């Protein structure tokens, strides 16, 4: 099953470093970051999990839960977490799924259906496609997907920026321009007429082009 933006994030029950959880129930009314890794004790992933551990409070401020996945058993994860803390300088407090049977990786189309049912004997190279970040809304719909190769560490500051944009534009009829950062001007979407825009943005806007109207960022409720 190929997953796209706007699709329902598949639900699942899995064992994690924080016990068993069912994804949709665990998410509740929060936003979610589900990010995957091809193998434990891999160098790039070790740096990623450690950095995200430091960044977790910023996601919590945005009502966003973090859930990791790696194609290995939970017992391996628990040993790996010590290395992550040593390298990253922060303890991983978010759950990390033990996808030893490849069930979640296949459910999310990160591995083909014929990949087998065990992580045993598999290498990071054979799991190299398990490198996706999914942003999931409280409605359980996929809002964004980011896919990276094994050789390139993911930029979780960018994931946070993307989350800010998605949450803002979900609340207001605006879009964010290139390289936008929280607090900067935004764009009134073309579907909003000038008449409606005057009601929504009474302090006015700057018209760059008839279809490009720039307005200060609304404050999130």
Residues known to be catalytic: 45
Place of tokens 């995200």: 52
Sequence-distant (6+) residues with CB within 8 A of 87 are 46, 47, 50
Tokens 């279809």 found at: 211
Nearest to 97 by CA among 107, 87, 88, 89: 107
Going by C-alpha positions, the residue among 12, 37, 6 that lies closest to residue 25 is 12
Largest Cα span, the chain: 63
Kindly report the length of the chain: 221
């Amino acid at each position: 099953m190929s997953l796209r933006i706007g699709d329902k994030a598949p639900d699942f029950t899995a064992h994690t470093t924080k016990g068993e959880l069912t994804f949709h129930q665990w998410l509740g009314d929060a936003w979610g970051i589900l990010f995957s890794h091809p193998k434990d004790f891999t160098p790039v992933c070790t740096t990623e999990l450690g950095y995200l551990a430091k960044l977790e409070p910023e996601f919590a401020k945005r009502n966003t839960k973090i859930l990791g996945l790696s194609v290995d058993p939970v017992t391996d994860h628990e040993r790996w977490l010590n290395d992550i803390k040593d390298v990253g300088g922060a303890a991983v407090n978010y759950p990390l799924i033990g996808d030893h049977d490849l069930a979640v990786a296949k459910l999310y189309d990160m591995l083909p259906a014929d990949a087998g049912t065990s992580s045993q004997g598999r290498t990071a190279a054979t799991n190299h496609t398990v490198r996706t970040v999914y942003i999931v809304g409280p409605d359980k719909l996929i809002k964004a997907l980011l896919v990276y190769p094994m050789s390139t560490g993911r930029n979780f500051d960018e994931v946070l920026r993307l989350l800010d944009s998605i949450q803002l534009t979900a609340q207001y009829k605006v879009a964010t321009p290139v390289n936008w950062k929280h607090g900067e001007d935004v764009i009134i979407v073309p579907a909003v007429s000038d008449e409606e825009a005057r009601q929504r943005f009474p302090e006015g806007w700057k018209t760059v082009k008839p279809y490009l109207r720039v307005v200060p960022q609304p404050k999130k409720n």
